[in-house]
Structure 1
Amino acid sequence: MIVVSERSQKLELYLSHRQALVEYASPIVGCRAKAEDVVQEAWLRFNEASTDRVPLPQPVGYLYRIVRNLAFDLNRRLTLENRHPASEDELQGLPSENPSPECEALYSDELQRLQDAMTRLPERSRQAFVMHRLHGMTFKDIALRLGISTSLAHQLVRDALTFCSEQLSDD
């Protein structure tokens, strides 16, 4: 029963100050509809406040503080959202991240030459190269995996990189 009466007291407090809270939030957020949303969210947070705690010495001040913080949070969020293009027209004007058909063909040929070069690498060199460049493994991890020294792992990767680079530069 204590919890019910405390919740009803909170509701009465909220309802008696609701209009003033909306008036308080409106100039901060710049719109009455947004202020209504802020005050509603404030009520939800105020109502969720634990009933096990010591009663708030100034519940009205606490409610105003919640409204103020939520209003400023909303403004920050809206400012951040407005920094990024949101409309389709603005997005259409941005350059595409996809390569042009010419670049795609060029890179496709280059990728094929790289794959051919890698098939001609000795097995251990290819494994070390793939582990390091594609899987991001350290030379120490490669050495442990292949049962070789760290310096040999480094040398295998360097040799594979040199070989592939030479194959790509040959025309």
Structure 2
Amino acid sequence: MAADGFIRQQFVQRLYVEHHGWLNGWLRRHLQCSQRAADLAQDTFVRVLTREPQNLSAIREPRAYLHTIAKGLLINHWRRRQIEQAYLDALALQPEPLATSPEEQALIVETLLQIDAMLDRLPHKVRRAFLMSQLQGMTYAAIAAELEVSERMVKKYMAQAMLHCLMLLDDDA
């Protein structure tokens, strides 16, 4: 077992030495920020370190493997920035007494990210029905017409979305 750990450590070390510069450069070109690129490159190698040992031995194209991990981290980074910016834009429209502390803002952004991840796991029509109902205030009949489904189907979509919301609340408890 100790020999496996040593072999694994050497593999990851070699992967890091041989490909870190390339990965960091790739991320820097996409982010236009050397510090954030360095952070995401490190996060990529942390992900590699946490993979199952048998998965590492199957790597035939190290750059493609690292690219796949880094691209997922990059997408998460952009999604988080988009959600944070939308929240900050909405917050800027609020009167001064309603402004929140930085701690409250961080908690709100984290909650918004959880909601976004939950909505992302919903099937497309379920997500659309839920958002039309909750954000646009549309009736089930209007949603049904928009999605070209029956009102009964919209009710099923809403029930499915609500169940996911409850599961999110249950996870926080």
More helix by share: 2
Relative contact order, higher structure (CA 8 A, sep 6+): 1
TM-score (norm 1): 0.48
Whichever of the two has the greater Rg, that structure is 1
